[in-house]
Amino acid sequence: MLLGYIVQFIFGVDSNQLVDGRVQTDPVQDVVLFTLMLGSAAGFYCYFWLRSGQTLGMLAWRLQVQNRQGGKLSLQQALLRFVLAWPAFLVAGLGYFWLYLDSNRDALHDRLSGTKVVLVPRSHRPF
């Protein structure tokens, strides 16, 4: 919401118009907003994956992403995992159905980025 407000503040409220019941926006504004949203999502996931291997949702489910050796991800692995997870989900979830075909039970984006998701014990305290 903050990004949307900032973009709206920069472009002004006149860049959006209601035409025949549909909202028309400036195409440049759309590209800027999409780029900022994609960048903030990448920043969120990569920050948490690099810091502790767990996003807030992964923390609740006791899941942690690690490299193949059981350590923390590199920046390259985190970015690659983020980029590859989108097509894995958007193509009918086929990248996640790969779990049932893979001998290590890895999703396709984990396989390609050299990462794995593990279940951490209840006693694990990330902070």
CA dihedral (61, 62, 68, 71) in degrees, to 10, reads 140
Q: How far apart are CA 126 and CA 35, in angstroms?
A: 31
What pLDDT digit, counting tens, does each position of 104-114 carry? Answer: 999 999 999 99
What pLDDT digit, counting tens, does each position of 20-61 carry? Answer: 988 888 889 889 989 999 999 999 999 999 999 999 999 999
How many angstroms separate the Cα of 99 from the Cα of each of 60, 89, 116? 21, 13, 11
Q: How far apart are CA 38 and CA 26, in angstroms?
A: 18
Beta-bridged to residue 23, according to DSSP, are 18
> Does 80 have pLDDT greater than 90?
yes
> Does 15 have pLDDT greater than 80?
no
Please tell me which residue, 47 or 8, carries the higher pLDDT value. 47
Structure confidence at residue 19 (pLDDT): 86
